[in-house]
Amino acid sequence: MPDTYKNIAENRKAWHEYHIEDKYEAGIELFGTEVKSLRQNAVNFKDAYCTVREGDLLVVGMHISPYEKGNLFNRDPLRPRRLLMHRREINRLYAQVKQDGYTLIPTRLYFKGPRVKVEVGLAKGKKLYDKRADQAGRDAKREMDRAAKTSGRADE
């Protein structure tokens, strides 16, 4: 039976602010009302990051809106949530973050079958000139595509 993937949200700001060098898949520990909110795409993790605390990998700053019918079962929308990875993977990531100046950023949230997964990117921060160079490259590509489209019409 093939796994079905359904995107919940993507962190596009992460691609603008960081060089994502490697990506990892992690499970996330959630409560029932949080999963129901995710099914309604009620999540914001634009300013979220991951950290290792006491051997656990946590995502901090992810806002999952309270489920409207959840009443007393709703949890704090900004609480740190534990990510589920193998211990050796967490230790390897922790060593890289401590030693090489990397940071862990959640880049995507999705359903893999009935489970919620988080794609975590091992990232280095971009400098301002890197962001400008990326923007200039995107603009140049857009201009080339536009020119190719108009020249293609003139041939017809």
- Specify the CATH number for 5-125; select among 3.40.50.620, 2.40.280.10, 3.40.50.1820, 3.40.50.720: 2.40.280.10
Q: What is the pLDDT of residue 1?
A: 46
Give this prediction's pTM.
0.77
Task: Give the chain's length.
Answer: 156
Q: Are 93 and 122 spatial neighbours (Cβ–Cβ below 8 Å)? A: yes
CB burial of 68-94 (b: ≥16 within 10 Å; e: otherwise) equals eeeeeebbeeeebbebebeeeebeebe
**Domain ranges (residues) in the chain:** 5-125, 128-156
The backbone torsions φ and ψ at residue 105, rounded to the nearest 5 degrees and listed phi first, read -125, 130
**pLDDT (tens digit, 0 to 9) for every residue of the chain, 156 residues total?**
456 788 898 988 888 888 899 999 999 998 888 888 888 888 888 889 899 999 899 999 988 888 877 777 777 778 898 999 999 999 999 999 988 878 999 999 999 988 999 999 998 888 877 788 888 888 899 999 888 888 766 545
Pairing relationship of beta strands 81-84 and 103-112 according to DSSP bridges: unpaired
pLDDT value for 2:
55
Each residue of 8-45: pLDDT tens digit? 989 888 888 888 999 999 999 988 888 888 888 888 88
